[in-house]
Structure 1
Amino acid sequence: MKRTWLVPTTALLTLSILFTGCSSNSTNNSSAKESATPNDTKTPEESKDPEAVKKVKVRLSYWNKEDSVKALLQLFKDKLPDIDVEYQFIDNKTYVDVIKTQLAAGEGPDIIGGVIDANTVKTGYFEDLTERYASKYYETGTSTATFDNKLYGLPQASWFNGVYYNVDLFAKYDLKIPTTLDEYFQVADVLKKNGIKPQAIGLKNPNVAGQSFLGLALNDFIGTTEGKKWNDDFGKGNSKMVDALEPALTTWTEYLKHGVFTKDMLGLEEEQAIDEFTSGKAAMFQAGPWYMETFKQKAPDMKIDMFPNLGTKGGPGWMVG
């Protein structure tokens, strides 16, 4: 079985490292301590004989739909003409099981995101990247992918999640950007009175619900001085998860009491929620930048902006990430 590289695929430069690495070259990532430039990043037009380039096929599996990574895949074609990237989307609800099954059958992808732990490392699925890449990253970035002093994956690129809103709808009803949860519900009330769903959300995916309520937890507790102490204690086994999350989960039920989140949303897929947002039926949608390409395709003239996830106490707000 060929060894598999375990890496995140949400960051352009991180992926460039990995694909170039297949050809014994390297580049840099924002979390790297030093940079290196690929030796051969010529486009096919710049090559003397582009037809003579022998392509290496690389299969990349991740849970983002292909529409959200089109620009990235095109950049691979432009910058890495000797690499033929086959992108495989796997729904995040089944991603781990599918990948582990493929790996066990000796048919796993060349590059994957996640699915690394002490057990999978012991099976020998993953390439040892220590010599080539360990010195290029800070230990804080590599620690989660290091086992027995060997590096098996590159650091996860950062991502964020906030609340997108329809700029024109907010302007039409003279709505101000909310800075607290109470202000958010006031905005929601105005929208409902005018026949607009305040926020589209596909609660059929538990990950979506989790990100929604974690925004509250970050604002009201985890991001506070008290919360940071709890986090340190939790790492030492001296505090409980329920202490941080139960109050936020209780507050999150206010979305239900105010009729922002409704029972039917429990059966709503994220794709259906996106359609409600891009069609103007809903004014807000919580997500990260991975859906921007989808928004543009479905509603190219729609004006969209974003504000951070809110808490009950105000302040700058937090992006879940």
Structure 2
Amino acid sequence: MKFKKLIVLLAVSMIAILGLAACGGTGTSSKAQNVVEIQTDKSGESNNAKGALPIIKEKSGLDLKYVPTPDYSAYQTSIQQSLSTKKAPALFTWWTGSQMDNLVENDLLEDLTEEWENYYIKNGVNEEIAKSLTIDGKIYGAPLNIIYNGVFYNKEIFAKYNLEEPDTFDDFIKICDTLLDNGVTPIGIGNTWQSFVWPMALMGSMDADLYDEWTEGKAKFTDERVKAVFYKWSDMLAKGYFSEQQQDQVKDFATGEVAMIYNATNLLSGFAEDYGFVSGEDIDMFTLPSMDDGNKPTVFYEVAPILVGKNSKDKEQGIKILRSYYDQDVQQAYADVSGMASVSSVNLKDPISKQITEEANDTENFNLKLRYYEQFLPEIINLSIDEYWKIAADPSEKQVDSSLEAIQAEQDKLNP
């Protein structure tokens, strides 16, 4: 009898163990096989995609699950430690520039060049965006979303002083002068990392080709043409066109402390929720005009790439998800919630998003450039941000020369 009881107990234990294994998320169950996780440091993405997820499932047969890790350092460490193993994520969000380059150098990313050619471009993803995700002639990323930058302005303040969106750069300067004459600070300059914004915007306005040379390392920070851009910025600073460094640029704009700020379209939902601003009625946006009427103005963009872990056991499912992600219906659902999209064919409800997206995709009349922050090594970015604040504090040609020489000296050390 004791022997029979022992057999029964062993059998029950074995069943329990097998049951636990089946529920333990090992990837062997049919349920687990139909779920693809996307690792991200962007905690709001699961909400942005809430309307898109059922459509992705319908089109791909797979559930997409967002797994956020909002802490930047913890996220970066976790991803880097897993990428060389079979536990590598099938999909994860990352950053363009040197951080993406390092992953490619270590052969940790799946090549998506053919996916772009066969699926993404055909579904309406702007071909220009691929340039920021291309390394050594191959495309290694796909856009989570695309955020465009432009000049927000307070329509009530503009109306009070009979101001309209500028058609030329001279018009823009006249707007600044009119505001100054009436005791209004024209432009909020921002804080912390935002010091690069106006040098970038002005170079896009003065010489978009020079911007490419500069960010590709073909033109030095000490190049006389680059200096000319910073001299223009320092002159505008000295004239009082910009505010002091702020703790909350958005709040100062929203409360009318400043009339304009240069920033990105992902602020729009916050303007609506926190301040009750209606796009196109209370606030609007324009692209900074070119200083030369014969040149195209420049729209700067940010892109958070989705990457595919080359060593992931689920990478084929991840690739399948991405084929669905750029479907018109999926992107429309994403845009309806977030106000952003990765394709040009969606109907954006927000008039500001709609306008600047149309401009960004109008390559005949506008340049489209990846913003400064993603273009250089982190050491150069961090140093340059500090040096640009020195220029903001002392807007003189002497300080411009000193700051640009310091940045170039560091650039030379890193790239001898």
TM-score of the alignment, normalized to the shorter chain, above 0.5: yes
**Secondary structure of the equivalent of 2:159?**
helix
Distance 1:182 1:140, change over 3 A: closer
- TM-score normalised to the size of structure 2? 0.48
- Distance, in Å, in 2 between the alignment partners of 1:249 and 1:122 is 34
- Distance, in Å, in 2 between the alignment partners of 1:150 and 1:319 is 24
Q: Is contact 2:205-2:290 (8 Å) kept?
A: yes
Counterpart residue number, 2:269:
293
Q: Is contact 2:46-2:66 (8 Å) kept?
A: no
Matches within 5 A, 1:74-113: 74-80=50-56, 82-89=63-70, 100-106=76-82, 110-113=91-94
Q: Say which of 308, 316, 319 aligns to 2:287.
A: 308
- Distance, in Å, in 1 between the alignment partners of 2:171 and 2:293 is 10
Q: Is contact 1:216-1:310 (8 Å) kept?
A: no
Counterpart residue number, 1:17:
none
2:153 is equivalent to residue 165 of structure 1? yes
Q: Which runs of 5+ in 1 are unaligned?
A: 1-50
1:42-82 CA-to-partner distances (Å, cap 9, x unmatched) read: xxxxxxxxx9x9754432235xx73xx57632233443462
Shift of 1:292: 1.0
Higher helix share: 2
- Distance, in Å, in 2 between the alignment partners of 1:184 and 1:290 is 24
Q: Is contact 1:76-1:85 (8 Å) kept?
A: no
Q: Say which of 185, 189, 204 aligns to 2:192.
A: 204
Q: Say which of 256, 267, 271 aligns to 2:237.
A: 256
Supply the RMSD in Å over aligned alpha carbons: 4.1
2:282 is equivalent to residue 282 of structure 1? no
**Secondary structure of the equivalent of 1:75?**
coil
Q: Is contact 1:77-1:83 (8 Å) kept?
A: yes
- Distance, in Å, in 1 between the alignment partners of 2:289 and 2:141 is 33
Supply the AA of the counterpart residue of 1:283: A
- Distance, in Å, in 2 between the alignment partners of 1:146 and 1:307 is 29
Supply the AA of the counterpart residue of 1:60: T
Aligned length: 248
1:69-107 CA-to-partner distances (Å, cap 9, x unmatched) read: 5763223344346222234446xxxx6x66542333338
Distance 1:55 1:279, change over 3 A: farther
- Distance, in Å, in 2 between the alignment partners of 1:75 and 1:320 is 28
Structure showing greater radius of gyration is 2
- Distance, in Å, in 1 between the alignment partners of 2:132 and 2:208 is 21
Q: Say which of 56, 59, 62 aligns to 2:39.
A: 59
Percent sequence identity over matched residues?
23
- Distance, in Å, in 2 between the alignment partners of 1:187 and 1:148 is 44
Q: Is contact 2:169-2:288 (8 Å) kept?
A: no
Highest relative contact order (Cα 8 Å, sep 6+), 1 or 2?
2
**Secondary structure of the equivalent of 2:186?**
strand
- Distance, in Å, in 2 between the alignment partners of 1:74 and 1:279 is 32
